[in-house]
Structure 1
C-alpha cells in the first residue's frame, strides 16, 4: 500500500499553491519557513515526484505535476475536514466551534450585536473571530482556517458561496466648515473636486471609494481617482484626518451609526447621483457540510439590518419611480 500524505503536508502544499510565497505560506500555516520547506521536500520524497521547479531562483513555480497534485490535495483535505463537520452537524446543528472572519470596516460596529444575537439563539455555538482584510480572510477561508466570513461586497470573492445581508449606504464626511456641509446631499460628481482621505491599499473600502469617484467626470485622465495624499489604517484614523481638514472621506453608515464620529467636529451627508452603498454579506466555501448552518446564520444575522435612513428611503423611492 502506498504511503499517504499527512493532512499537515497537504496544508503546506495548498498554502504554497495559494500564496506562491514560502514566507506567507508558512505564516498562514503557523509554522516557520524552514518547517514548511522541509515538509514540502518530505512530501516530494514520499511521492517520488518533483512538485516545485527549483531552477527559477526564488520564485515559487509548480511543475505541471505539482499543480495537479495541489488541486487534488485541496479536494482531499476538504473531504477529510468534512468528516468531523458532518458528524457534528448531524448530532446538533449550530453547535461546536465556528471560526468567523470579518473585515475591520465592519467588525467593531457589528460584532457586539452579532455576538449577542448568536449567543441568544445558538448558545452551544463556540464562536471565534478573526479580523483582517478581505484578501487575507479569503486566503484563510480557502486554506480551511476559517469557516465563514462577513465581508463588504462587491469584492473579488471567486471560489466562495455568498449571501447578502443588507445594503450599507455610504456617506461623505467633512469638517463642519466645509462648503459641502451646507448641502443636504452631495452629488458624486462633485467628489472629483476634492482631496480624499482613503483607507490604505488592501482595504476594500478604498476600492469602493474609487468606484464611486469614477461615476463622476474624469479629471486629468485619472478615471475620477482623487489625489489621496492621506491614507488611513482605520475608520477612526480617517475621521481624525478629516477633522484636521486634510480632506473629505467616504464612510459607511454602519460605522457612523456605530459612533465613529461621536464628539468630532464632522458633518456627514448622503451621496446622490449614482450607486453609493456596499452590501454586507456572508461567504463560505462551496459545498461545505455546514452550508445549512451558514444559511441559518444568514437569516439570523439579516435581522440585525438597521432601519433605512430617510435620505436612503427617498433615494430608493425616486429610483423606483424614475
Structure 2
C-alpha cells in the first residue's frame, strides 16, 4: 500500500510498479480501466463564526470571492477544488491566500482564521472535527462532488480479483457520507 500524489500513482501503474489504484477519476491516463466505487460531495470548511458557517444552502457562487486555502501544487484535491471554483465563476488566479502540504495543516490554517477550504465529505469527520475552531457549510443540490474508483491497467491479469475487491468495498462503504456507484 502506497500513498502518493496522483501523477506518481499513474506513473507507477503504467510502469508496472503498481497494480491497482484508489483515486478520484477520471484519471486522464490512457489504458486504464476504472471501477467506480462512490461519489462524494464537497463541503466548505470555515472558521467558527464565519458568515457562512453552519449553512446548508450555499450556492456555488459563494466560492468566487472567498479567501481560499488549498493543498500544494501536485495534489489532485487542489485541482478538484480549483475546478469547482472555476465552475462557480471564480476568476483563474483568484485569491488563494495560502497552500499547505497536507489536510491537517490546511484545516488548522482555516481554524486560525486564514481563510476557508473545500474538503470531501469523507474527510470532514477525520480532519475537521479534530481541529479547533472550525465549522462546515453545505452546498445546495447538486453539490459539487467527485467520484472515487479503483483503476487498473487494461487487460490486467487480476482484473476479476480487482472487480471482486471493488464490489466488496462498495459493500462496506454504507456508513460513510457517499453515494455508492456500480
TM-score when normalising by structure 1 = 0.52
| 1:265 equivalent in structure 2 | 133
For each residue in 1:221-257, what CA deviation from the matched residue of structure 2 results, as whole angstroms up to 9, or x when unmatched?
Answer: x24x532120011110110110111110000111113
Alpha-carbon separation, structure 2, partners of 1:166 and 1:144: 26
1:301 pairs with one of 164, 169, 173:
169
| 1:244 equivalent in structure 2 | 112
Alpha-carbon separation, structure 2, partners of 1:273 and 1:192: 18
Q: Aligned pair 1:138/2:6, yes or no? A: no
| 1:160 equivalent in structure 2 | 32
SS of the counterpart of 2:77? helix
**Structure with more strand by fraction:** 2
2:121 pairs with one of 231, 239, 253:
253
Offset of 1:278 from its aligned partner? 1.1
> RCO greater where, 1 or 2, for CA within 8 Å and sep 6 or more?
2
Q: What are structure 2's unaligned runs of at least 5 residues?
A: none
SS of the counterpart of 1:179? coil
TM-score when normalising by structure 2 = 0.89
**Structure with more helix by fraction:** 1
For each residue in 1:72-112, what CA deviation from the matched residue of structure 2 results, as whole angstroms up to 9, or x when unmatched?
Answer: xxxxxxxxxxxxxxxxxxxxxxxxxxxxxxxxxxxxxxxxx
SS of the counterpart of 2:147? strand
Q: What are structure 1's unaligned runs of at least 5 residues?
A: 1-128, 314-322
Contact 1:198–1:228 (Cα < 8 Å) also in 2: yes
Contact 1:174–1:248 (Cα < 8 Å) also in 2: yes
How has the CA–CA distance of structure 1 residues 282 and 239 changed in structure 2, closer, same or farther, with 3 Å as cutoff? Answer: same
| 2:62 equivalent in structure 1 | 190
Offset of 1:211 from its aligned partner? 1.1
Offset of 1:307 from its aligned partner? 4.3
Alpha-carbon separation, structure 2, partners of 1:145 and 1:308: 30
> Number of residue pairs matched?
179
| 1:19 equivalent in structure 2 | none
Larger radius of gyration: 1
| 1:232 equivalent in structure 2 | 100
Offset of 1:274 from its aligned partner? 5.0
Alpha-carbon separation, structure 2, partners of 1:308 and 1:255: 10
